[in-house]
Amino acid sequence: MASSDDERPRARGGAPPGAAPVLTASNLLGRIGLDAAGCARRLTFLSFDAADVENLAQLRAVAHANVDGIVEDFYGHLLSFEETRRLLADPERVARLKKLQREYFLRMLEGDFGHDYFESRLRVGAAHASTDLRPEWYLGTYSLYLRLLGGRLLEHYRDEPDTLLALLGSFTKVVFLDMGLAIDGYILSGYVDRTLAQDYRRMAEVAEQALAEKADLEQAKADLTGMIVHDLKGPLGGILAVTQLALRQASGAPSDRHFAQIQRSAQDLMRMIENLLEIDQMQEGRLELRLEPVAIDGLLAECSAEYRAAAEIAGMTIAVAIEAPLPVLMTDRWLLRRVLNNLVVNAVRHSAAGAIDLAARLAGAQVEIRIHDSGRGIPSADQAALFDRARRRRGSHREDTGLGLVFCKMACERMGGTIAIESTPGSGTTFVITLPAEASL
Ligand code: HEM
């Protein structure tokens, strides 16, 4: 039998955005590759035979007499659960559904399980998938049919338990046939793919949110650290100013040495703070170069003068060797000076005694500055990590914060140049800076 619902292409209304494409009648069986032989095979698997057809015919009388009550009880049950009630808010829809439900139920007892029957059951499954009714609610509802019809049958066959069992057994086979086709209908409508896609989307949203929160937190931490580091410059500047004053009025008293020591420590601290702040600025692309003509020989002389006392205390000498002619570069004087300061402090700290040589020359299109110490040298396996911030964080070898060389590399690159290391354990270390000479005057 072909009921009126066979002609309608799919459930009306209620289909969410992204729902399955319209499923036209008479094409679903083909789409799951279910031909006449396949349909017959399903019935055989359910052990459906002529006796069942007879049993269904016997059931029809009771079913027709009770169908209205069964349908009422059916929707009474669905309206008592939040998950199913939400789809039945419109009384007109419920009235329409009751009529369709009546046809659906009675058709189960017709005994005509041909192509049209299979097709219509697939479509009803697909129609429910389009309303986004989860399959457990839809499939669970089939048990209602058994309970509602079973109760009515009991009234008729109370004294014939064998008949009652046989009738219910045949009806149960149809229920399971319909449930199987309902599942196929859900799969055909793309419900599984849609649900998975929704789950993945939700998971992606949760992950994105967690990442955004983590990034916010890290930013807040970085901002706070930056602020604290920046604020340290104030009191440190105060200490430097006072020690400077005290050293200017030096009288040869033993306290002078202490002041000089305090000044060196405060300068070290200031240098580390500036490294940190400028690394952050360079990483965020905020460090503007202040270009001006810079004579490299003068800059190296200034640098060696600044650290000569510290070097002498450590039993070292600092020498500057310039190979003329050396062009005047257009670069950031303050930044380059800070790179040199870092490298010279490094050299003083890591050479037990001996000489620190600062040299500069023109090498093709580059100005090359070399800072050599006669310290213990750095094994080549450790050299790559020296300029890498992430690796410095894990274990610093040559400096307190481990960030001096990271700063030097970033600053040299910011000025359009490079920095490299040449070192052999036992015979000292040379840092080689190159800066483009074409940026010269
Ligand atoms: C044994 C279980 C069920 C059967 C046999 C059944 C039967 C049907 C039938 C025959 C249709 C018409 C399909 C079409 O348009 O071709 C339909 C549609 C529908 N059913 Fe069910 N149904 C069942 C369970 C449920 C449940 C649990 C709900 C939950 C509230 C539900 C809600 C709906 C809705 C919202 C529609 C679409 C109505 C529309 O077209 O506006 N059904 N059902």
In a domain, 107, yes or no: yes
In a domain, 277, yes or no: no
Count how many residues are written for the chain: 441
CA of 128 to the centre of ligand 1 (A): 6
Q: What is the DSSP letter of 298?
A: H
CA of 141 to the centre of ligand 1 (A): 10
In a domain, 275, yes or no: no
Say if residue 168 is in the same domain as residue 303. no
Give the nearest ligand 1 atom to 85 CA: 30
Q: What is the DSSP letter of 384?
A: G
Q: Which two tokens stand for residue 335?
A: 């930044």
Each residue of 218-239: pLDDT tens digit? Answer: 888 888 888 888 888 888 999 9
Say if residue 54 is in the same domain as residue 174. yes
Pairing assessment for the beta strands 429-436 and 418-423 based on DSSP bridges: antiparallel
326-344: burial string, b at 16+ Cβ within 10 Å, e else: beebbbbbebbbbbbbbbb
Say if residue 25 is in the same domain as residue 156. yes
398 neighbors 350 (Cβ within 8 angstroms): yes
- Ligand 1: residues whose CB is within 6 Å? 5, 8, 11-14, 78, 84, 87-88, 93, 97, 100-101, 104, 123-124, 127-128, 131, 133, 137-138, 141-142
Q: What is the DSSP letter of 440?
A: B
CA of 361 to the centre of ligand 1 (A): 88
Report the CATH number that the domain containing residue 113 is assigned in CATH. 1.10.490.10
Which domain covers residue 439, as residue numbers?
Answer: 289-441
In a domain, 245, yes or no: no
435 neighbors 369 (Cβ within 8 angstroms): yes
Domain boundary pick from 152, 171, 189: 189
In a domain, 34, yes or no: yes
Separation between Cα atoms, residue 36 and residue 102, nearest integer Å: 27
In a domain, 201, yes or no: no
CA of 202 to the centre of ligand 1 (A): 28
CA of 366 to the centre of ligand 1 (A): 81
Say if residue 308 is in the same domain as residue 164. no
In a domain, 260, yes or no: no
Residue 12 has pLDDT above 50, yes or no: no
Give the nearest ligand 1 atom to 11 CA: 15
Separation between Cα atoms, residue 374 and residue 312, nearest integer Å: 14
Report the CATH number that the domain containing residue 424 is assigned in CATH. 3.30.565.10
In a domain, 279, yes or no: no
23 neighbors 10 (Cβ within 8 angstroms): yes
Each residue of 392-405: pLDDT tens digit? Answer: 655 544 445 568 89
pLDDT of residue 163: 96
Domain boundary pick from 189, 222, 237: 189
Domain boundary pick from 189, 210, 232: 189
Each residue of 192-213: pLDDT tens digit? Answer: 888 888 889 999 999 999 999 9
Question: Where are any strands of DSSP class E within 203-300?
Answer: 291-294
Say if residue 176 is in the same domain as residue 27. yes
Each residue of 52-80: pLDDT tens digit? Answer: 999 999 999 999 999 999 999 999 999 99
Based on the structure, what is the number of domains in the chain?
2
Say if residue 33 is in the same domain as residue 174. yes
